[in-house]
Amino acid sequence: MPAPADLPLDQVRTLLAVVDEGTFDAAAAALHVTPSAVSQRVKALEQRTGRVLLLRTKPVRPTESGAVLVRLARQVARLERDAYAELGLSGAGEPTRVSVAVNADSLATWFLGALTRVPREHALCFELRREDEDHTAALLREGVVMAAVTSSPDPVPGCTVRYLGRMRYLPCAAPDFAARHLDGPPAETLAGAPVVLFDRRDDFQDGFARRLGHRDAGPARHYVPTSEGFVDAVAAGLGWGMVPEPQAGPLLGAGRLVDFAPDRSVDVPLYWQQWKLDSPALATVAEAVASAAAEALRR
Amino acid sequence: MPAPADLPLDQVRTLLAVVDEGTFDAAAAALHVTPSAVSQRVKALEQRTGRVLLLRTKPVRPTESGAVLVRLARQVARLERDAYAELGLSGAGEPTRVSVAVNADSLATWFLGALTRVPREHALCFELRREDEDHTAALLREGVVMAAVTSSPDPVPGCTVRYLGRMRYLPCAAPDFAARHLDGPPAETLAGAPVVLFDRRDDFQDGFARRLGHRDAGPARHYVPTSEGFVDAVAAGLGWGMVPEPQAGPLLGAGRLVDFAPDRSVDVPLYWQQWKLDSPALATVAEAVASAAAEALRR
């Protein structure tokens, strides 16, 4: 690749717009140019770098090389915005955007509270991406986001890591479901009981069953791909599931859930990873996230 | 393509497993064969049909031709399961799975209640996919799901359509946000106020702003990609947003939200589309969905 200084930034920005908007047409609309101009700029950048930068899927996805340039484009934009803000120019232009990947359970429990702690005078705009905590780091690596709540303590290249705390998960079921399917030690009954999973990638319930000596959770599986829906499905008696402590608490208190293996909770450590950038906007968000996490999560 | 009777169903089932599990390795684990066996079967099927069937992305995605075979595989599996159930054999084998694409707002409000109405003796397993109501029909077309809650009344080929009702959306904001940003007729103030969107594809707020005579909603945009998080973000005062009536109701009553343009609510009609298959499992779910929708939605 040519030296970064040689890369035409308008082409790099166009690449970013295509990835953000998902299609060449949408990027063209956002940039107020024609779709063929967008297509030409991306092609020119691909010729210049000698790499395929985009997979022409729907939505468009960056290749590994494309992701490097997308990250560059976002970092340049971040630095430009911060410089404008320091010069007192941000009021006139675009608001300062902070993009963060968050796992669904954090988003459903403590994360939005963190964002409301960011002082209003910063006038930040948040772009949240919901992703499994094992996969948020990938979005950071691809340059899709500038920070992530992740279960990985290993820093993504170019990023710093900060420990947030542990989210505790309790093995829960509705009382009548437990009476019907879990009447006996879970080490014996669990594999025969219906289970609720988040999606096909969710192996959390299987891992729990394996630790009790089963080969897996049972074959009767419901998939409910929202955090709140997952808890609702467990409380409605569709199956058992590992429920985050902040969501389980009120339902256990109200007798709508039972913890069928109280000594078997599972803790998932969470970390904050962010670009190593001297950005006041990002630093403010990081502070708010760390302080909200300190209250909501276990140490 | 050869006649359907010529297609080796084990290869078609392998294709389905790869699409469902997302990678060749995961499909191999699910099928209890080696990854190279999976790869060979897919290649054999691609040679036989003379088409590329899979995009080797992560996760793997079916091409247009691949989607046709995925749908075939799912329909065959559905018919097999129903036949087994009729023969009284289902208890021994796999549970009967019903896959449905649902928009996030339906999932957050009335849809799970529908599933709990399905009599327990059917022993169905639900696989829900969360998707924008404008895009759920695409999942039906691709064969990813066998039914969908969608905003489209135009039947997907091979599907039936049934009207469910209208979801009403109210233009809402937190009271202090409204006092700060919306002090005046919305037709004048709206474009200058921060707004909450679901994700980059969400043009619902922009559409509302355009109907009030603005070019778009304002440039200060927060993206919060869960239904519950979206409502929480509006109630926390991050921005205004179009909130589904079932979620807005209690918050309006408690004074945590205000409807800043009470005569300007927007109704979105919802439809149930499902495969034209004589499947008792699917018919039972359709009945439960229609009756829950009749109570929760406007006619």
Please provide the size of chain B in residues. 299
- Do residues B34 and B28 make contact, with C-beta atoms less than 8 angstroms apart? yes
pLDDT value of position A5: 44
B56, B81, B118, B125: best to mutate for the A interface, most A CBs within 10 A: B125
Q: Which two tokens stand for residue B254?
A: 């408690």
Q: What is the CATH number of the domain that holds B22?
A: 1.10.10.10
- Domain contains B104: no
Q: Which two tokens stand for residue B61?
A: 């995605």
- Domain contains B180: yes
pLDDT value of position B77: 76
Residue B34 has pLDDT above 60, yes or no: yes
Domain final position from B24, B52, B71? B71
B136, B139, B195, B232: best to mutate for the A interface, most A CBs within 10 A: B232
Chain B: residues touching A (Cβ < 8 Å): 20-22, 55, 57, 61, 94-95, 104, 107-108, 112-113, 115-116, 123, 125-130, 194, 200-201, 219-229, 232-233, 236-238
Q: Where are the beta strands (DSSP E) in chain A?
A: 54-55, 61-62, 96-102, 124-130, 147-150, 159-173, 195-197, 221-223, 241-244, 258-259, 266-275
Number of folded domains that form chain B: 2
Residue B137: pLDDT band (50, 70, 90) is confident
Q: Which tens digits make up the pLDDT trace of B197-226?
A: 999 889 999 999 999 999 889 889 999 999
Nearest chain B residue to A123 by CA distance is B220
Domain assignment of residue B28, given as a range: 1-71
Give the Cβ contact number of residue B207 at 10 Å: 13
- Domain contains B159: no
C-alpha distances in Å from residue B52, one per residue of A78, B56, B67, B72, B196:
41, 10, 11, 16, 40
pLDDT value of position A248: 98
pLDDT value of position A27: 93
The mean pLDDT value for B54-75 works out to 85
- Domain contains B9: yes
Q: What is the CATH number of the domain that holds B215?
A: 3.40.190.10
B222, A20: Cβ pair inside 8 Å?
Answer: no
pLDDT value of position B106: 96
Residue B176 has pLDDT above 80, yes or no: yes
Residue B281 or residue B162, greater confidence? B162
- Domain contains B234: yes
B229, A107: Cβ pair inside 8 Å?
Answer: yes
Residue B92 has pLDDT above 80, yes or no: no
Domain final position from B30, B50, B71? B71
- Domain contains B78: no
Sorted by sequence, the CB contacts under 8 Å of residue A55 that are 6+ apart come out as: A61, A62, A63, B55, B57
Domain final position from A53, A71, A89? A71
CA–CA distance, B74 with B157 (Å, rounded to integer): 15
Sorted by sequence, the CB contacts under 8 Å of residue B223 that are 6+ apart come out as: A126, A127, A128, A129, B196, B197, B198, B199, B200, B202
- Domain contains A155: no
Share of chain B above pLDDT 70, in %: 93
Of A77-86, A280-289, B61-70, B169-178, minimum mean pLDDT range: A77-86
- Domain contains A80: no
Render each residue's pLDDT in chain A as its tens digit; 299 residues.
444 446 677 888 899 999 999 999 999 988 888 999 999 999 998 888 888 899 888 888 898 888 888 888 887 777 777 766 666 555 445 677 899 999 999 999 999 999 999 988 778 999 999 998 888 888 888 888 899 999 999 998 889 999 999 999 999 999 999 999 999 888 889 999 999 999 988 999 999 999 999 988 988 999 999 999 999 999 999 999 999 999 999 999 999 999 999 999 999 999 999 988 878 888 999 999 999 999 999 99
Residue B112 has pLDDT above 60, yes or no: yes
pLDDT value of position A2: 46
